Structure 1
Amino acid sequence: MAAVRDQTVLVTGASHGIGEATARLLARCGAEVLLLARSGERLAEVAAGIRAAGGRASIYRLDLTDPTAVKAVAAQIEAHHPRIDAVISNAGHSIRRPILHSAGKDDLGRLLAVNFSGPAALLLALLPRMVAGGGGVIVSVSSASALPPGLPRWAAYQGSKAGFDLWLGSLGNELRGRGVRVSSVYLPLVRTRMIAPTRAYRFAPALTPLEAAQSVVYPLVNPVRRVAPWWLKGQQVAALLLPNTLDRALGGMEEMERRLTGRRKE
């Protein structure tokens, strides 16, 4: 509470799941939250709940895939809020689909817009105000799958998340000494509507949205560059030292899934 009380924190993707839980948690701790998402009606519901509990919330409807809208909303935010102390870049989308089925659906283009170019454009629009105002914190809500190895059927999602993660790290190094620090939060599975379409995840271990939100706000309290599950370092070491073994295992899993899918269709 001491770290965020009376701070202005912007949260993208705040209408559902992790973003909603993060906004509610921050508001309970005394922050003024700016809620951004595509769903205006749902944002209004979240904001009303925060205000009913004594918190402060403002809503801004925004489709991150629309560059013109990103600039317009950033200008509105700057006009109404003299300072942005933190940005939680949470909005994102995932698609699990075989690569040969995704080209005609433009999966890569869609996910790059939602997970990379849109969030980057919003940050670039807000950064001058943050630097001029003395700095702030940028938190990227990333995924453990943004790091190697490459998982079958997740190419567009992993590629877009990994690209934004590297872009943000470069941005953070450039802004060292200028008051703005960045942090990436690599979450494991979280029980939200985003993983619901993947049958294999229905019974897999997963965090609740509140548990995920507690990880997301950790960099606002402690100046860490990275928040991650304990096992993620092991995954990275294995990907570095045993790439062929991992690739064979993942390729075998994909082949097995193709066979099972074919049998179900028969």
Structure 2
Amino acid sequence: MLKYNLLERFLFFSTNLNKEKLERTVKGKTILITGASSGIGEQVAYLLADINVHLILVARREEKLATIKDAIEKKTAKVSIFRADLRNMEEMAQLLLFIHQLPKGVDIVISNAGISINRSIKHSLNRYHDFTRTIAINYLAPVQLMLSVIPLLEKNNGQIINISTVNALLLPMPYWAAYQASKSAFDTWFRSALPELNVMGISTTTLYLPLVRTPMIAPTAAYKKMPAMCPSHVAKIICKSMYTKKKIYRPWWLIFGQWASLLFRGIWEAVMPTVLRRRGKGDR
């Protein structure tokens, strides 16, 4: 686990994981993790490695998945890897076929795969594909996955864990239109479906995460010095939700951001253009 600085320790309180409760809850179960080749998904897989579970790891980088599989299977968990770009309809169909052919289906789905794009609208005018590929992986792919596995989860009284972002609950930020719109779309879909899923006996958990120090944020130089959660810390929160069934995780300070978003939206929208002009980023 990366060492937090003083500010990060203040922003991201530590999480105590009861490994005995976790093992009692998930032992013998099948857990599907998308976006499993790095970052949060990879750390969740390693955290479950000492438990008798069946992990299905899905990502685009097959070599990295194979490396993770080799490391985990030296311990206790069984691992199946499935290379798939979830934006590709044929590869998604093959994944769903694989899942439905499992003897007991799936018990827990961790919807973690995603893509982030930081680009101004001015520099997006000829890049419509930025929006289509972002909405495809952040919204359409998880919806398609859920619609297919919901009957399996209902049969097994399973759980869906959605990895979301604090931005879905705050005022949108400039340069993040593609990312924030796509993440908010699935967050809204999931919140709308949640009562129906709960009636089916399916537990639901959403993690509204701040910045997490994963490879996804590496291209944005400004993030290197900003406070960020450690992926292994997030993995603990995810695994803890498997036995607590807590519906929502959000940083303690998010409530203040939500109130500010509600009270100061007009001021924010009036002031932000001036701020961008003064910083000389309008043409970014």
Match of 2:7 in 1: none
- 8 Å contact 1:17–1:209 — kept in the other structure? yes
- 3-state SS, counterpart of residue 217 of structure 1: helix
Call closer, same or farther: CA 1:166–1:43 in 2, change over 3 Å. Answer: same
Aligned-pair RMSD on alpha carbons? 1.8
What is the rounded CA distance, in whole Å, between the counterparts of 2:195 and 2:221 in structure 1?
Answer: 39
Secondary structure of the 2:225 match is coil
Stretch of structure 1 that moved more, 193-202 or 73-82: 73-82
Residue 130 of structure 1: aligned partner:
153
* Separation of aligned partners in 1, 2:122 and 2:283: 15
Q: Give 1:26 deviation, angstroms.
A: 2.2
Question: d(CA) in 2 for partners of 1:239 and 1:52?
Answer: 48
Q: In 1, Cα distance between the equivalents of 2:73 and 2:116? A: 31
- Partner in structure 2 of residue 115 of structure 1: 138
Range with greater deviation from structure 2 (38-47 or 74-83): 74-83
Change beyond 3 A, Cα 1:242–1:83: same
Contact 2:160–2:204 (8 Å) recurs in 1: yes
Report if the CA contact (8 A) 2:48-2:77 is conserved: no
Q: Is there any run of 5+ residues in structure 1 with no aligned partner, and where?
A: none
Residues 76-115 of structure 1 aligned to structure 2 (within 5 Å)? 76-105=98-127, 106-115=129-138
C-alpha deviations, 1:100-121, integer Å up to 9, x for none? 2123222111100010001111
Shift of 1:241: 1.6
* Aligned-pair identity (%): 36
Given the two structures, how large is their TM-score scaled by the length of structure 2?
A: 0.86
Distance change in 2, residues 1:29/1:186 (3 Å): farther
Contact 1:185-1:226 at 8 Å conserved across structures = yes
Q: In the alignment, which of 141, 150, 153 is matched to residue 163 of structure 2?
A: 141
Counterpart of 2:75 (choices 45, 53, 73) is 53
Gap runs ≥5 in structure 2? 1-22
In structure 2, distance between residues paired with 1:252 and 1:2: 55
Change (3 A) 1:68 1:237: same
Q: What's the offset of the Cα at 1:54?
A: 2.9
Q: Are the aligned partners of 2:276 and 2:282 in contact in 1 as well (CA < 8 Å)? A: no
**Relative to structure 2, which stretch is displaced further, 22-31 or 174-183?**
22-31
Structure-1 separation of matches of 2:36 and 2:240? 17
Deviations along 1:204-240, one digit per CA (max 9) or x if unpaired, are 1111110111122232121222101111111111111
* 1:202 maps to 2:224: yes
Shift, 1:81, TM fit: 4.2
**Higher mean Cα deviation, 91-100 or 234-243?**
234-243
1:167-204 deviations in whole A, cap 9, x for unaligned?
Answer: 01111112232111222101111111111111111011
Following TM superposition, by how much is the alpha carbon of 1:12 offset from its aligned partner in structure 2, in angstroms? 0.1
Runs of 4+ in 1 over 4 A off after TM superposition: 259-262
Provide the rounded CA distance (Å) in 1 between the counterparts of 2:125 and 2:151: 37
